[in-house]
Structure 1
Amino acid sequence: MSDMRMSPNLALNQLVAQRQAAGEPLIHLGFGESRLPAFGPLVERLAKGATRNAYGPVAGSPGVRAAAAGYFERRRIPTDPEQIVVAPGSKPLLMAINLAVPGDVLLPRPAWNTYAPQARLAGKHPIAVPIPEECGGVPDPDALRECVQAARVLGHDPRIMVLTLPDNPTGTLAPPAMIRELCAIAEEEGLLIVSDEIYRDVVHDPATDYLSPAEVAPESTVIATGLSKSLALGGWRIGVARFPEGPWGDWIRTGVVSVASEVWSTLAGPMQEVAEYAFDEPREIRERLRASARLHGIVARDVHRICVAAGARCRPPTGAFYVYPDFEPVREELAKHEVGDSPSLARRMLDLGIVVLAGHLLGDEGEALRFKCATSMLYGDSAEQQQLALDAEDPLSLPHVRSVLDRIEDSFQRLL
């Protein structure tokens, strides 16, 4: 515990807020918050739920668990309400899974910066596996088997594999064929799959072929999700986990509920009211989800264009609201500015007024010239501006959106 520090993205967010309050004109690309106004019908449900001041069942009320089960059913994943647990965000659920299930954790490299610290907090060893060339969020299947065997030779005990679909930090989605291959390896090696699907409803193209590992390996996949990203409710803290049907799933769920009973007791009653309504997905919620995913995709693709124009290699974003540029092609030019690794590249960006999250903080190789750009806070400084961006046919043409993107482009062009 003496080595633990605040999560780097949260620490960075607090630092940026302080510096912006002091008058520094920084553009914040280092924090993945969906910066959109709270949706009116959700606010109404929150107010309606204000009288729900009793604790209630640890796993969640029957109504909210039934709504979450229906959410998964509509995504080709048959689910009984007894397979559901709700919590104050998906983070505590992921931590509870680490505490309930023994064994070390296989992670894609790079990955969301919370996975590895949570594993360490639970006394586990995080094992990083490089991502494939075409996408992030998953270990490269060709490297996965080798990493599992090498870890066992070193005395580690890999039993859990984390997938992020779509991915934070690359903003990409692993294709169905790769999911099937990873599920086959998991079955051969006896791995539990933890599928973090918090960005599932932020896939940019609604026609995208999305395959959850729970469809391929239903008896060995836990899904974690929530409403922070898709409905911009990060501050409300609403998370859901779906556990496998059968004895193993029941055992894991029982362990998670046991952890919950000692840590968070239950999801707050007003939030359960919100979650039940949101996971039932009435027409207005479905429309809000589509509009939000569309906006996230449009802006992320423009930032991708800016990164490539500045000389970076970068996977085109297809989900979530991130791009992950690699400036290796311009290493020599960057060296003229004393930039030769991930930390110095992030400092160079800060000198240019752009805040990014350096790749080494995401488990990436420190000498790599990579960082995460989160694009979801570029829609305006006020709720009115953000709503205009959400409603616009062409949000990039709005003056308040275009001006910040132009500033980003100017800074990237001055990087070399």
Structure 2
Amino acid sequence: MPTRSISPNLALDELVARRKAEGATILHMGFGESRLPVFAPLVTALTAGADRNAYGPVAGGFAVRDAVAGYFTRRRLPTEAAHTVLAPGSKPLLMALQHVLPGDVLLPAPSWVTYAPQAKLVGKQVFGVPIPVECGGVPDPAALRETIAKARAGGRDPRILILNLPDNPTGTFATAGLIGELCEIAAAEDLIVLSDEIYRDILHVPGADLVSPAELIPDRTIVLTGLSKSLALGGWRIGAARFPNTEWGERVRDDVLAVASEIWSTLAGPMQAVAEYVYAEPPEVVARRNADTRLHAAVAKAVYEVMVEAGADCRPPTGGFYVYPDFEPVRAELAGRGITDSESLQRLLLERHDIAVLGAGHFGDDPRALRFRAATSMLYGDTEEQRATALYADDPLALPHIREQLLFLADGLAKFVGGSGGR
């Protein structure tokens, strides 16, 4: 049996935690977590649901599924409770779908570190397709057509297209036009679309809109979401999926529930109480989510500017809380110091300048590329008090603790590119 290792983002997070425990000062931007305090009413909902100690339905109780259905319906995706499933995070739902859906997998390159390993764990082949220059999260349409044709000519059967809107790792989202082109290809080539929209509620420009593939090809799109990113509940593990209102959609949902019944049984009752409250979207939840988004947008923009100043090409972030700089313009300078690919870029940036990021190779990108993902959400403070202050500050960039971390980043990158020694 082949040796397996834990996901690279989790491994890096554990490494940084160990080094910090040993006394190291590290700017940790390698883990995709929203480092913000828990919204107090969610603790109240969790406590109120603490007596829900029965297993209950595998899909989740009717009330929470109805709340999730309302959430999707308000986003132009009419949904009934019967077409939703709750789970301990969106990751197990994705894994269950890999088990029950036939065919190989088409992925944007780069894309989130978990998509490809999940597919390989169930014996599927993964085909990476480059993303468009202007944004991430979706494959370039022309390259997608070419990849499908080559895969089928080689005897493979690509049937699943995974999209991430907005995406991890580039922190951008695709235009309606691009989504439309991809949906046309999916329909013509008989692809099933898994639309991972866990960052959907973190769009940086107020009033910005995102078109879901489920609006355009509802009969062949399954949508996934969760609360780990938009409300900083990663450790609470709350995810949900929306299935098509068709005979096929019901069959896939039933198959996912069969897998769920043997793995996680159901989402924990207290977490269902939280999800029911959040997905109903009362005004206070919307206000808190909007406050999170304002902070994410401000800090991501500042980090983007630092990357560009350091000599990198970088897409301006428009959603989520990541930037994905490319240091190809300074390859010659970096090569003279042994930095020739994403692995050495990640490793030496940490070893020499105490900056933790995740290299491009982990995302299915070209391992020779001088790119990495930086999670800007890790810069809000080291204490709950600092993070709360950042969340509600009129100008979070003026706060001393955030300003200091941005200066730490800028100074470290300047020395890294310029050839100065470590700290």
Find the counterpart in structure 2 of residue 118 from structure 1.
118
Find the counterpart in structure 2 of residue 105 from structure 1.
105
Find the counterpart in structure 1 of residue 397 from structure 2.
396
Partners of 2:205 and 2:281 in 1: CA distance? 19
Partners of 2:311 and 2:348 in 1: CA distance? 15
- After TM superposition, give the deviation of residue 396 of structure 1 in Å: 0.3
Find the counterpart in structure 2 of residue 22 from structure 1.
22
Matches within 5 A, 1:236-385: 236-350=236-350, 351-385=352-386
What is the alpha-carbon root mean square deviation over aligned residues?
0.7
Find the counterpart in structure 1 of residue 38 from structure 2.
38
- After TM superposition, give the deviation of residue 209 of structure 1 in Å: 2.4
Matches within 5 A, 1:149-228: 149-228=149-228
Partners of 1:162 and 1:347 in 2: CA distance? 29
Partners of 2:415 and 2:59 in 1: CA distance? 52
- The one-letter code sitting in structure 2 at the alignment partner of 1:339 is I
- After TM superposition, give the deviation of residue 208 of structure 1 in Å: 1.2
Partners of 2:217 and 2:288 in 1: CA distance? 31
Question: What is the CA deviation profile of residues 360-386 of structure 1, one whole-angstrom value per residue up to 9, with x for unaligned ones?
Answer: 011111111000000111111111110
- After TM superposition, give the deviation of residue 4 of structure 1 in Å: 2.2
Partners of 2:224 and 2:80 in 1: CA distance? 16
Find the counterpart in structure 1 of residue 421 from structure 2.
none
- The one-letter code sitting in structure 2 at the alignment partner of 1:361 is H
> Is the Cα contact below 8 Å between 1:243 and 1:253 reproduced in 2?
yes
> Is the Cα contact below 8 Å between 1:106 and 1:128 reproduced in 2?
yes
Partners of 1:252 and 1:380 in 2: CA distance? 43
- After TM superposition, give the deviation of residue 276 of structure 1 in Å: 0.2
Partners of 1:330 and 1:54 in 2: CA distance? 58
**How many residues are paired up?**
416
Partners of 1:317 and 1:230 in 2: CA distance? 16
Find the counterpart in structure 1 of residue 420 from structure 2.
none
Partners of 2:134 and 2:285 in 1: CA distance? 32
Find the counterpart in structure 1 of residue 412 from structure 2.
411
Structure 2 SS opposite 1:376: helix
- The one-letter code sitting in structure 2 at the alignment partner of 1:234 is G
- After TM superposition, give the deviation of residue 337 of structure 1 in Å: 1.1
> Is the Cα contact below 8 Å between 1:175 and 1:209 reproduced in 2?
no
- The one-letter code sitting in structure 2 at the alignment partner of 1:53 is N
Structure 2 SS opposite 1:202: coil
- After TM superposition, give the deviation of residue 311 of structure 1 in Å: 0.5
Instruction: Calculate percent identity across the aligned residue pairs.
Output: 60
Partners of 2:365 and 2:343 in 1: CA distance? 11
Partners of 1:370 and 1:127 in 2: CA distance? 20
Partners of 1:355 and 1:113 in 2: CA distance? 16
> Is the Cα contact below 8 Å between 1:169 and 1:372 reproduced in 2?
yes
Find the counterpart in structure 2 of residue 8 from structure 1.
8
- The one-letter code sitting in structure 2 at the alignment partner of 1:203 is L
Q: Which runs of 5+ in 2 are unaligned?
A: 418-423
- After TM superposition, give the deviation of residue 141 of structure 1 in Å: 0.5
Find the counterpart in structure 2 of residue 65 from structure 1.
65
Question: What is the CA deviation profile of residues 13-63 of structure 1, one whole-angstrom value per residue up to 9, with x for unaligned ones?
Answer: 011101011111011010000000011000000000000000000000000
- After TM superposition, give the deviation of residue 156 of structure 1 in Å: 1.2
- After TM superposition, give the deviation of residue 3 of structure 1 in Å: 3.5
Partners of 2:299 and 2:4 in 1: CA distance? 35
Partners of 1:161 and 1:223 in 2: CA distance? 12
Structure 1 SS opposite 2:149: helix
- The one-letter code sitting in structure 2 at the alignment partner of 1:326 is D
Partners of 1:263 and 1:362 in 2: CA distance? 27
- After TM superposition, give the deviation of residue 206 of structure 1 in Å: 2.4
Partners of 2:206 and 2:106 in 1: CA distance? 30
- After TM superposition, give the deviation of residue 414 of structure 1 in Å: 0.9
Structure 2 SS opposite 1:248: helix
Question: What is the CA deviation profile of residues 118-138 of structure 1, one whole-angstrom value per residue up to 9, with x for unaligned ones?
Answer: 001111111100111011111
- The one-letter code sitting in structure 2 at the alignment partner of 1:129 is V
> Is the Cα contact below 8 Å between 1:106 and 1:127 reproduced in 2?
yes
Partners of 1:360 and 1:372 in 2: CA distance? 10
Instruction: Return the TM-score normalized by structure 2.
Output: 0.98
Partners of 1:348 and 1:408 in 2: CA distance? 14
Instruction: Return the TM-score normalized by structure 1.
Output: 0.99
Find the counterpart in structure 2 of residue 141 from structure 1.
141
Structure 2 SS opposite 1:107: strand
Structure 2 SS opposite 1:51: coil
- The one-letter code sitting in structure 1 at the alignment partner of 2:215 is E
